[in-house]
Amino acid sequence: MRKSSAILAALCVSVFVVGTSEYLIAGLLPQVAEDLNVSVGAAGQTVTAYALGVVLGGPVVTLLTVRLPRKGLALLLLLLFAAGSAVSAFASSYEMLLAGRVLSSLSHAAFFALALVVASRAVPADRVGRATAAVVSGLTVATVLGVPLGERTSWRTPFVVLTALTLLGAILLAAVLPRQDTGSAGARAEIRVMAQRPVLLAIATTAVGYAGVATVFTYIAPLLTDVTGFAAPTISVLLLAYGGGSFLGNLIAGRLTDRAPAATLRGVFAALALLLAGTPFAVTFQPTAVLAVLGLGLLATATIAPLQGLTLRHAQHAPTLAVSVNVGAFQLATALGSAIGGVIVAADALRWIGGAGAVLSALGLVLSCYALPLRPRPAPIAAETGTPTAV
């Protein structure tokens, strides 16, 4: 148990570093625009480029490296991420910064998927949910610290720090991660498993259900300012509380996932749908707005452990590609939710974005019923291999 705890801690630290890079740039856009002589809108395209690198590049990198030993691959992906961060830190042009962001993004989904698969195999089967939550906790901390870290320094300094932290993470993993073979039957097997209906349903549940969170969270600052009437310093405190709630909600969901995965997933989505449906009314009164923010924090990341667990459950014989695509599905969910929220805000209906989020979370609940039945059917036995097939 002590060895597995060290592995989970090292993976958590590494995921924190990789996750911080995703959120860090949001606080740097004005500085980047001024220094590189581009518009803020153009600087914002570095966020889009990173997201596209995760969604499109992640599965490609995963397939190309599926036969590599797990420990060596983890170190290789971290070194690739460090290289991208270094290019970003010393970029002399906008194009060079864009290239650095894309280079870093290529390792994001592949490393995150690898970390989750390694974590699931480092613990007994009845602790996979908690192991997933432990790794994901690095990401929840990154969401809290990413933007603040970027707001108070030169935009290049955080990337230098990230490069150094990534190298330290690689050293830590090299010390505690045991040598492992690929654990995969190869690229064709990964593709076959990923293309199965239950796995695709699990990924669709992520992309649609989590979009409900993104619809509201993307515009939570203007919502609390323009509708609720909070001052900017108060909103900063509320966002820190949101982050603390996210950390706690993730760990609780991990434990509940080990006990009752179907009930946990459905319970979280049902609670999210109800909370988001009530948000347009809660934000008109400051005390209830505070409760809504805290509730959203608890529930937002509580979706991650059961959703990743759902993907691992259906793709257990060749899970790496499926988990990598599911990581990209969270990015797609963020893009979808942000786009829908943007349309509502443009229609001068900022107060009502919670309604759209509630619809998406409710759709995620419906999909989860198909993706993870309360009473799963027995897995049929494959005629040629004698192993259970995903159902």
Residues in the chain: 391
pLDDT at 376 over 70: no
The pLDDT tens digits for 88-101 are: 999 999 999 999 99
Terminal C-alpha separation, the chain: 32
Query: What does the pLDDT average to over 120-129?
Result: 82
Structure confidence at residue 383 as a pLDDT band (50, 70, 90): very low
Query: What does the pLDDT average to over 122-147?
Result: 78
What lies within 8 Å, CB to CB, of 99 at 6+ separation is 87, 91
Q: What is the pLDDT of residue 382?
A: 39
The pLDDT tens digits for 255-282 are: 998 888 888 989 999 999 999 999 999 9
Q: What's the Cα-to-Cα distance from 37 to each of 24, 30, 95, 253, rounded to whole Å? A: 20, 10, 12, 45
Query: What does the pLDDT average to over 339-347?
Result: 88
349 — phi, psi (to 5°)? -125, 40
* Calpha distance 304→327 (Å, rounded): 10
Whether residue 222 contacts residue 349, with contact meaning beta carbons closer than 8 Å, is answered with: no
